[in-house]
Chains A and B, each alone.
Chain A
Amino acid sequence: MTRIDSWKSAPVLLGMLSFAVILLVWESVVRLGWANPFFISQPSAIAASLSQAARSGELWHNLEVSLREFAIGYGASVVVGILAGALAGRFRTVEYALDPFLWFLYSAPLIAFYPVFVLWFGLGVPTVIAITFLLSVTQITANTLSGIQNVDPGLLRAARSFGANERDVLWKVVLPASVPMVIAGLRLGIGRALMGVVVGELFGATAGLGFSISYYGALLKTTDMIASLVVIVVLGVLCTQALSAVEARFDSWRTGPGS
C-alpha cells in the first residue's frame, strides 16, 4: 500500500481505471442479459444517443438554453452577492439587518418557492433564472461577508498606522485578503446555480438539459434521459474543476497561516 501511495500517478490511473470498469460492467451486464436495458440502458446506446443529439442540433440547443439561464442567473448573483456581502462586511448595521434573511434563505428549501415564481414570472426561462439566482446568491453573500470579516486585524492596524485611509484599506488590504473566501463562495455558488437551472427546467420549461431529462423520463426513454444526465455531470465537473483551478491560483501567493 505504501508503494502505491508514493507512486504519484496512481490516483489518476486508478481513477481512469475506475470509469473504465464502471462502463465495462454496465455494458456487459446488459449484453449478458442480467439487467434490463429498459431501466439502466447501456453505455454504447447512450453514446449513440448523444452523437445523434449532437448531429440533429438538439443537444446544442438544449445546452445553449441551459447555459444562457445559468449565465444570467449566476452572473446576477455574483454581482449582487459580492456587493451585499461587501456592504455587510464593512458596515455592522447592514450585516445585522441582512443576517436573519440570509439565515432563512440558507436553510429554506428555496426550490419550494417555484410555484410562487411561476405566479410572478410565468412558466419558463424567467422562473428558471430567478431560482438559479436565489439559490446561488446566499452562498456568495455569506462567503464574501465572512471573507471580509476574517481579514487579519493586525494587517488593518498596520495599514492604518502607516496612514492608509478607509479607501486604501478597502482596496489594498481588505479586498485582496478576502479573495480566497470569495472565490470559494463562487465555486460553491456554481454548484447551487447548476442545481437551480436543472431543477427549474425539470418542472416547467420547453427546452434545456433539465427539460430533456424530464421529457424523456415521461416518455420512458431511459437512454436519452441518461444521455442528458451525462451532459449535466460533465458540465458540473468542468465548472467545479475550473473554479478549483482559479481558487488554487489565487491562494498560491499566501504563505503564512491565517490572514
Chain B
Amino acid sequence: MSNYRLFVSTVAVLAFLAIWEIAPRIGLADPMYTSQPSRVIAASLEIVSGDGFLYDVSVSLSEFAIGFALAIGIGVPLGLLLGRFPVLRYFLDPPIMAIYATPHLALLPILVVWLGIGMQSKIAVAFVGGVIPILVNSMAGVRGVARSWVTAARSFCAGEWDVFVKVILPASLPGVIMGIRLGLSRAVLGVVVAEMYQSQAGVGNQIMRYGSEFRTDHLLFDVLLVSVFGFSATWAVRALEERLWTAGK
C-alpha cells in the first residue's frame, strides 16, 4: 500500500525531471526559458561557491527570524488575551478580520515608504504576515477550551491567574502552534517578496537580479532553496504539533 504510493510518487517526479531535461535537448523547448535539471544543479554549485551567497542568505534569514520572533512575541500573548476577554475581542475582531482578509503583501509599498528599502521593511512584512494567523488561532485556541474545565478548576478554588496558567494556556497550545505553522509560510513569503520588490540584499534580491539577467537556472535554484526552507520549517512545526496532539490525548 504505502510501497505503491512511494513507487508512483517517485516515478511521477522522475518522469517530470526526465521530460524537463530531455525536452530542451531535442529542441522541444528553449532552455533559456525552461532551463533544465542539469543546468540548475550546475547553477547551484556556482551560486553556493560564489561570494555574496552566504551574505544574502544571512540577511534574509535574520530578517525572517526577527520579524517572525516579533510576530510570535506579540501575536501569542495578544491572542490569548483577546480569547480570554470577550469585550476586548468584539472591539478588535473586525479590524483584525479585515486585515486577515487583505493580502498582507499589499502593504509592501507603504512599509517601504515608512521604513525604507533596508532590512526594517522586510522585518515588518514578515511580522505582519506572521502575526495575524498566530493571533487569530491563539484566540480560537482559548475559545476552544472547554468551559467545564475552567469551572472545575474554579470549584477547586483556582484563582484567575491559576486558571490562565494551568488550564487555558496548556489547552490552547494546539491552536497557538497551528497559528505559528500558518504564519510561518506567510512570513517566509513576505521576506522573499519584499526583497524582490525593493531591497539591497537577500535571496529575493538575488532572484530578481537573476530574473532580469535571464538566468533562469540560477533563479530556479534560489526558488528551490526558499521552498526547501519553508517546507522543512513547516514540517518541523507540524511534527511538534502532532506530538502535542497525541500528548494531549
Q: Interface of A with B (CB < 8 Å)?
A: 1, 4-5, 10-11, 14-19, 22, 39, 92-93, 96-101, 103-104, 107-109, 111-116, 118-120, 191, 194-195, 198-199, 202-203, 210, 213-214, 216-218, 220, 222, 225-226, 229, 232-233, 236-237, 239-240
Contact = CB atoms under 8 A, between A and B. Distances in A.
Contact of A108 (B196, B212, B223): B223
Given A108-B227, A112-B193, A203-B196, A194 B4 contact: no
Contacts, number: 167
B188 A109 contact: yes
* A interface: dominant SS: helix
A104 B12 contact: no
B95 A119 contact: no
A1 B219 contact: no
A119 B197 contact: no
A240 B101 contact: yes
Nearest to A212: B109
Given A5-B86, A195-B103, A229-B107, A39 B91 contact: no
Which of A11, A109, A216, A220 gathers the greatest number of chain B CB atoms within 10 Å? A109
Contacts of A225: 109-110, 113
A108 to B, nearest CB: 4
Contacts of B208: 115
Nearest to A105: B227
A15 B91 CA distance: 5
7 contacts: A92-B4, A97-B9, A109-B227, A112-B196, A195-B105, A220-B113, A226-B110
Given A115-B219, A116-B219, A119-B211, A108 B90 contact: no
B135 interface: no
Interface string B189-222: 1001100110000001001101110101001101
B23 interface: no
B18 interface: no
B87 interface: yes
Given A199-B105, A203-B197, A217 B112 contact: yes
Given A114-B196, A217-B109, A14 B91 contact: yes
A96 B192 CA distance: 30
Nearest to A195: B103
A120 B106 contact: no
B90 A120 contact: no
B19 interface: no
